[in-house]
């Protein structure tokens, strides 16, 4: 049996399995199977009120689960397959586990641009519900080894390369009249505004999901993170960007050339590497320009620092 066949068997027998996407690795299960979806929440330690994204092979599969208005259709046609998750009203006739949506009447849908993920989805022919394949609250995984670090042999992992984008998808809410960005990502607010020819509002997912106990979700390393540093304290590791005068004994540079795309690809891998380093008391991060995907990089770093 090859790897894809093993993964398909896991899905059809109600197990969770991890797989690569272009953004981060996902921990997936059959979105129609209650107990399979519950396994995702248990494995991650994820609160039940936090809904999951379903992954589809194409727009036609998406239409069976969500009600796509003109705006949502335009965005799906333009950006799929790709790193954009679209929130739409749930199709009332959809056969889907209510654990996926956490009981909401909207659903988040994404068609990933990754050959392995698309192969799985086309062959399985049912959407895969999948959050990032990390323990809830920790940094998202962008490499096979990151997922293995989190779950060991408890979860079957479809191997793949490092996720090329390296940050979770942009989430856009099309279920409301004032279309809003809920999470910044590789596809920027400006990219979406250009396609829709209108300005967007910015909200957070937690403002939209008004469930009891909802909190600002952190995605933090274990070590404290200090941002926009101008000096590095003794025993701190340095996460640097571009060329500057900052130095430290333990240091990684997200992109010595100052390329924001490269920095995004490396961000979670380098945070995980520094977090594992013995004898370090914190991670100092140099300033990173807040433009293009730098907006998403800074948003993830803000969360990492807000523990």
The Cα–Cα gap between 79 and 72 comes to: 11
Q: Does 237 bind ligand TXA (CB under 6 A)?
A: no
Rule CB under 6 A: is residue 300 a binding residue for ligand TXA?
Answer: no
Residue entry with tokens 């992992």: 157
Q: Does 171 bind ligand TXA (CB under 6 A)?
A: yes
Distance CA 250, CA 283 (A): 10
The residue count for binding ligand TXA (CB under 6 A) is 26
Distance CA 209, CA 176 (A): 13
298 binds Mg ion (CB under 5 A): no
Residue in the block written with tokens 């490092």: 162
- For Mg ion, the closer CB: 82 or 131: 131
Quote the CA–CA distance of 245 and 217 in Å, as a whole number. Answer: 33
CB 188 within 8 A of CB 271: no
Candidate ranges 103-111, 154-162, 229-237, 260-268; the one touching ligand TXA (CB under 6 A): 103-111
Distance, in Å, from the CA atom of 132 to the CA atom of 208, rounded to the nearest integer, reads 20
Length of the chain: 307
| Alpha-carbon distances, residue 40 vs 45, 134, 184, 254, 287 (angstroms) | 8, 10, 24, 31, 35
Q: Which of residues 155-174 bind Mg ion (CB under 5 A)?
A: none
The item of Mg ion, ligand TXA, none sharing an interface with residue 293, based on CB under 5 to 8 Å by kind, is none
Q: Which stretch binds Mg ion (CB under 5 A): 127-135, 221-229, 230-238, 244-252?
A: 127-135
Select the span of 52-60, 62-70, 131-139, 175-183 touching Mg ion (CB under 5 A).
131-139
Residue 208 contact among ligand TXA, Mg ion, none, beta carbon within 5 to 8 Å by kind: ligand TXA
Residues that bind ligand TXA (CB under 6 A): 21, 23-24, 26, 50-53, 85, 87, 104, 106-108, 110, 112, 130-132, 168-169, 171, 182, 205, 208-209
């Amino acid at each position: 049996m090859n790897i894809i066949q093993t993964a398909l068997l896991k899905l059809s027998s109600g197990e969770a399995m991890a797989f690569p996407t272009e953004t981060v690795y996902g921990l997936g299960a059959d979105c129609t199977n209650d107990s399979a979806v519950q396994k995702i929440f248990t494995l991650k330690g994820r609160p039940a009120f936090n809904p999951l994204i379903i992954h589809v092979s194409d727009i036609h599969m998406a239409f069976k689960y969500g009600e796509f208005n003109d705006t949502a259709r335009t965005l799906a046609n333009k950006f799929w397959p790709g790193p954009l998750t679209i929130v739409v009203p749930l199709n009332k006739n959809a056969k889907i586990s209510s654990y996926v949506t956490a009981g909401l009447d909207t659903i988040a849908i994404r068609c990933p641009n990754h050959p392995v993920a698309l192969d799985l989805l086309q062959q399985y022919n049912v959407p895969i519900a999948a959050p990032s394949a990390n323990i809830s609250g920790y940094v998202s995984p962008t490499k096979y080894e990151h997922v293995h670090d989190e779950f060991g042999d408890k979860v079957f992992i479809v191997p793949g390369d490092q996720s090329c984008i390296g940050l979770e998808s942009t989430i856009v809410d099309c279920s409301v009249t004032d279309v809003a960005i809920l999470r910044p990502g590789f596809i920027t607010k400006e990219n979406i505004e250009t396609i829709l020819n209108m300005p967007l509002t910015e909200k957070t997912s937690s403002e939209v999901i008004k469930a009891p106990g909802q909190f600002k979700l952190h995605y933090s390393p274990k070590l404290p993170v200090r941002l926009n540093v101008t000096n590095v304290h003794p025993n701190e590791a340095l996460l640097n960007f571009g060329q500057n005068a900052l130095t430290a004994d333990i240091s990684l540079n997200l992109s010595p050339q100052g390329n924001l795309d490269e920095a995004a690809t490396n961000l979670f891998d380098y945070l995980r590497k520094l977090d594992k380093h013995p004898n370090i008391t914190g991670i100092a991060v140099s300033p990173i320009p807040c433009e293009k995907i730098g907006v998403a990089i800074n948003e993830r770093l803000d969360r990492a620092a807000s523990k």
